Amino acid sequence: MTDKDNYILSCKDIYKSYQMGATRLEVLKGINLSAARGEFVAIRGASGSGKSTLLHILGALDTPDKGGVFFEGKNLADFSGRKINEFRNKKIGFVFQFYHLLDELTVLENVLLAKMAHSSAARWLTCSDSAKNHACQLLGELGLSERVSHRPFELSGGERQRVAIARALMNEPDIILADEPTGNLDSQTGNGILKVFEKLHSGGQTIVMVSHDEKIAGRAQRVIRLADGKISTA
Amino acid sequence: MYDIILPIRFFLRRRITILAVLAVALCVFTVVVVMTVMNGLVSDFTDKNHAFFSDGIVWTDSLVGFGLYEEFISRLEKTDFVACAAPVINTFGLVESESSGKNAALDLMGMDIARQIKTTDFADTLYYRKDTPILAFNPIYDVNLAGCIIGVDLLVERLKSGQYRQLSFLPMWSYLITCFPLTPKGALAKTGTALTANSGTFYYSDNSNSGLAKIDSTVVYLPFDSLQSLCGMDIGAKRTNAIFVKFKKGFDINVCTDKVSRLWQDFIKENGDFALANLFGTVRVADWKTYRRETIAPMEKEQTMMILLFALVGLITVFIIFVIFYMIISRKSRDIGILKSLGVSKTGIVRVFLRLALLIGICGAAVGIAAALVFLLNINRLEGWLFDKFGFQIWNREIYAIGEIPHQTRPVLLAIVAACAVAACLLGALLPTLGSAGRKCVDILRVNQL
């Protein structure tokens, strides 16, 4: 098996900068990174070190100024707009620090949204029952069986994050990208979320997680340190 | 599927959408009510003109008139498109009430009542002789007396409610009517060196309420032959200065008017050797609308102005919707970021918000139309209540010759207004949606995270 086969997601020589008023802020300065299938990788760095930017670039939510992101060896820059949307929907599951759930939808609908995003009304009618069963199963596994018809603002922070994880898992993605998933939670609740990730990893799920906290990052299989826009070897 | 569920959820669970629906409903309500009333007033006015002046008119502005009118009428009535025609004299004279002594210079209209009631809806304007219009010039109290019909506003008090205080009996009032006869050459007729003035006494036989304020407040109607004699239109050859023509049902008025015009041209050629043939030159032929253009045109202009003003209201609606959608989308930008992170395309996001706009447009239009219909259905009752309670009237009936405020809504108008409202919503929503959907989702989420 070659590296190309084994590494599900990698990036090569990534540069990214932002214009901040009159000055140009160099956020990422030549990042090279790979995540193997089934690996749990943590990217750790201080606030403003560029770790979230890197995660967004890996998940095709943002584009690098220079360099390439490769999914199963294919450069995302070569993907059409439609294929990028499909990639975000089917291959990647995002978990954000601030959960990012839609307040107008119930817990179940928020989870199903990932499935609905790429289903026409006609297709949805044929698969909605199985999708609902799958969503309920995920919510059950995450301890939210009693909360399916609640709206996000009726849930605690930990519960909301578990809903976000269920939504990320809904399409059985190849990779979970988690941006400070415990950053908005107390340590006990955050620990619960990390246990969920560990359980997922033990089931073979590839996870790339960003955290500024050394302890939290330490729960991952491999930790990459980011400092001053570069991978730190220290 | 998200693009069906999300618009419905956004619509049902966001209070700001209620504001948007209310804004659309208010605009639709205003446009429907004002357009219905305005259209109603204009069509009521034009209908009344049409009813009073028949379909086509052959006329001259000259008080001398023109001859051979009976010959031309019989030629008209032989055609396949003319139902009937009636000669009419339009002139002026001095009218003096013999009971009160008051006098005034008024318009006089001479009509052959038998032919007039066939050619126009004049019979409907009468009060005492509505059922026996043929006897309109025969006063009920003495049918052998020469009668005159007086314009309703000249004689009958109009109440603030718009009703006329008609007397239950016909009073025996007499009027001395004086005219200055003109010779066929247009000169005042003289006896020796003194000018001749013809006078006659006529008895009040009825009043006419045509609904046309200017006519009802200035015209006294006399029998055709009597007025012809009073103003000297029987000197030399009998003359009239107008012929009202009614076309048969199903015939186009404009086409028939052209035919009458050609017939008239042929007629004057054939009668070129007639002694008063020189009077034919001033005669014109027109349909009723052209004949009354000076009166109808200002109202139609007013209507056009109204339509333009309400086009501006439409633009304001678009702007209001634009602002509301700008607010909705500003609040929803985080959701747009979430949807994009889930792989929803730009067109998918535009679809969500356009469907939301469609829902707002449809509901706003439905609420606005329903409210307008209820309001219009009760507009006269409401005005009556306002008048009884506070003495307020939208149109002072002592000034405006309208009875009820028009409230019949045309389905076409409703359909057009509803379609414009929905289109305004879609247009108002499109720009902010395109702006937000085009942004990078990471930028949206980053902003909402701060």
- Cβ <8 Å between A100 and B340: no
- Is residue B122 a contact partner of residue B52, using CB atoms and an 8 Å limit? yes
Residue B440 — φ and ψ, nearest 5°? -70, 135
For position B191, what pLDDT does the model report? Answer: 63
- Cβ <8 Å between B338 and A100: yes
DSSP B310-361: HHHHHHHHHHHHHHHHHHHHHHHHHHHHHHHHTT--HHHHHHHHHHHHHHHH
The amino acid at B231 = C
Same domain flag for B7 and B144: no
End residue of a domain, out of B221, B253, B282: B282
B388, B308, B260, B373: which is closest to B25 by C-alpha?
A: B373
Confidence of residue A1 (pLDDT cuts 50, 70, 90): very low
Same domain flag for B324 and B409: yes
Q: Is B107 left (phi over 0), alpha (psi -120 to 50) or beta?
A: beta
Same domain flag for B368 and B312: yes
Residue B202 lies in domain: 61-282
Confidence of residue B190 (pLDDT cuts 50, 70, 90): low
- Is residue B201 a contact partner of residue B95, using CB atoms and an 8 Å limit? no
Residue in A with minimal Cα distance to B14: A104
Same domain flag for B324 and B191: no
Return the percentage of chain A with pLDDT > 90, whole number: 17
For position B86, what pLDDT does the model report? Answer: 95
Q: How many domains does chain B have?
A: 2
Residue A11 inside a domain? The answer is no
Residue A152 has pLDDT above 50, yes or no: yes
Using a CB-CB distance cutoff of 8 angstroms, which residues of chain A are in contact with residue B13?
103-104
- Cβ <8 Å between B1 and A96: no
Residue B88 has pLDDT above 90, yes or no: yes
For position B202, what pLDDT does the model report? Answer: 94
pLDDT, tens only, B118-131: 999 999 999 999 89
Burial B166-182 (b: 16+ CB within 10 A, else e): eeeebeebbbebebbbb
Residue B403 inside a domain? The answer is yes
- Cβ <8 Å between A101 and B10: no
Residue B225 inside a domain? The answer is yes
DSSP B151-171: EHHHHSPBPTTS-B---SS--
- Is residue A189 a contact partner of residue A158, using CB atoms and an 8 Å limit? yes
- What average pLDDT score do residues B71-85 get? 93
- Cβ <8 Å between B340 and A61: yes
Same domain flag for B208 and B108: yes
Q: How many CB atoms lie within 10 A of CB A134?
A: 19
Residue B193 has pLDDT above 70, yes or no: no
pLDDT, tens only, B218-270: 999 999 999 999 988 887 789 999 999 999 999 999 999 999 999 999 999 99
Residue A104 has pLDDT above 70, yes or no: yes
Residue B58 has pLDDT above 90, yes or no: yes
Query: A7-20 and A23-36 as β-strands: parallel, antiparallel, unpaired?
Result: antiparallel
Residue with tokens 């700008």: B326
Residue B397 has pLDDT above 70, yes or no: no
Residue B54 inside a domain? The answer is no
Q: How many domains does chain A have?
A: 1
Using a CB-CB distance cutoff of 8 angstroms, which residues of chain B are in contact with residue A99?
none
For position B17, what pLDDT does the model report? Answer: 86
Residue B278 inside a domain? The answer is yes
For position B450, what pLDDT does the model report? Answer: 45
B352, B319, B318: which is closest to B333 by C-alpha?
A: B352
Residue A159 has pLDDT above 60, yes or no: yes
For position B446, what pLDDT does the model report? Answer: 67
- What average pLDDT score do residues B337-364 get? 90
**Which of A205-209, B113-117, B153-157, B283-287 comes out lowest in average pLDDT?**
B153-157
B274 touches chain A (CB under 8 A): no
Return the percentage of chain B with pLDDT > 90, whole number: 41
- Is residue B100 a contact partner of residue B174, using CB atoms and an 8 Å limit? no
Share the mean pLDDT of chain A. 86
**What CATH number corresponds to the domain at position A198?**
3.40.50.300
Residues in B 335-394 with any Cβ partner in A closer than 8 A: 335, 337-346, 348
End residue of a domain, out of B222, B255, B282: B282
Share the mean pLDDT of chain B. 87
A110 touches chain B (CB under 8 A): no
- Cβ <8 Å between B445 and A87: no
Residue in B with minimal Cα distance to A54: B442
Residue B138 inside a domain? The answer is yes
Residue B292 inside a domain? The answer is no
End residue of a domain, out of B282, B311, B326: B282
Residue B55 inside a domain? The answer is no
Q: Is A100 left (phi over 0), alpha (psi -120 to 50) or beta?
A: left
Same domain flag for B191 and B234: yes
pTM: 0.73
Confidence of residue A15 (pLDDT cuts 50, 70, 90): very high
Residue A155 lies in domain: 38-63+81-227
B381, B332, B322, B330: which is closest to B352 by C-alpha?
A: B332
- Is residue A193 a contact partner of residue A162, using CB atoms and an 8 Å limit? yes
B245, B219, B231, B211: which is closest to B48 by C-alpha?
A: B211
Residues in A 14-53 with any Cβ partner in B closer than 8 A: none
pLDDT, tens only, A43-89: 998 888 888 889 899 988 888 999 999 998 899 999 998 899 889 88
Same domain flag for B316 and B351: yes
The runs of H, that is alpha helices, within B198-275 are 213-216, 224-230, 253-270
Confidence of residue B19 (pLDDT cuts 50, 70, 90): confident
Residue B287 inside a domain? The answer is no
**Which of A92-101, B280-289, B305-314, B366-375 comes out lowest in average pLDDT?**
B305-314
Q: Give me the half-sphere count of Cα atoms (radius 13 Å) on the Cβ side of residue B357.
A: 32
Residue A3 has pLDDT above 60, yes or no: no
pLDDT, tens only, A160-184: 888 988 888 888 889 999 888 888 7
For position A233, what pLDDT does the model report? Answer: 58
Residue B152 has pLDDT above 70, yes or no: yes
Residue B439 has pLDDT above 90, yes or no: no
Residue A228 has pLDDT above 70, yes or no: yes
Segment (H or E) for B54 = none
For position B396, what pLDDT does the model report? Answer: 65
Residue B60 has pLDDT above 90, yes or no: yes
For position B39, what pLDDT does the model report? Answer: 83
A87 touches chain B (CB under 8 A): yes
Q: B187 vs B425, which has greater pLDDT?
A: B425
Give, to the nearest 10 degrees, the angle between helix A157-169 and helix A107-116. 30
Same domain flag for B314 and B358: yes
Q: B102 vs B115, which has greater pLDDT?
A: B115
